[in-house]
Amino acid sequence: MRTHSSTAGEGFELNSPDAKVMVKVDAAHTDGAYELFEVDAPRGPTVPPHVTPWAKAYYVLHGRMAVLVDGEVHDLTPGSSIAIPPDAAHTFTVHSPSVRFLAISLTDAMGRFFRDVDRSVPAGTPLHDAAPLLREVVERHGITMGEWSS
């Protein structure tokens, strides 16, 4: 593990169809123990509930979002947080014009997934159009995805 510092707006940006993801602390800085991301998501379509094999936590910086975890809805506003265990079905919906939150993930799995999404789905692809490409990506990372609504 080594010391790492980043300033506001500094980090490696990854594109996802439903958010911009800024890598603030990469797994390389933590020997793969954890990663820290700053996520900026606009209001709009969301991915269906999905199950990831890694644990994560969200901490809201700006905006309002609802996080669905195993059928229970949690309303998060600035200063709110939620821990999502591995293998829990979850998704989020943005209720303000946008939401910015920190995502902390154990291991390097979430970062590998976001990098794969960034490489596999062209930036600016609408979420519904990205669904076929995302299906391939989630399979590569052991993620179980619910059905997409039409």
Q: What is the pLDDT of residues 106-127, one digit of tens each?
A: 999 999 999 999 999 998 888 8
Q: CA 6 to CA 25: how far, in whole Å?
A: 8
DSSP bridge pairs for 20:
15, 40
Q: Whole-model pTM above 0.85?
A: yes
Q: Is the dihedral of CA 62, 134, 139, 33 positive or negative?
A: negative
User: What value does the mean pLDDT take over residues 136-142?
Assistant: 92
What are the φ and ψ backbone dihedral angles of 116, each rounded to 5 degrees?
A: -65, -40
All domains of the chain in start order, with CATH: 12-144 (2.60.120.10)
Q: Residue 149: its pLDDT value, please?
A: 63
Q: What is the pLDDT of residues 28-85, one digit of tens each?
A: 999 999 999 999 999 988 888 999 999 999 999 999 999 999 999 999 999 999 999 9
Residues contacting residue 124 through CB under 8 Å, at least 6 positions apart:
15
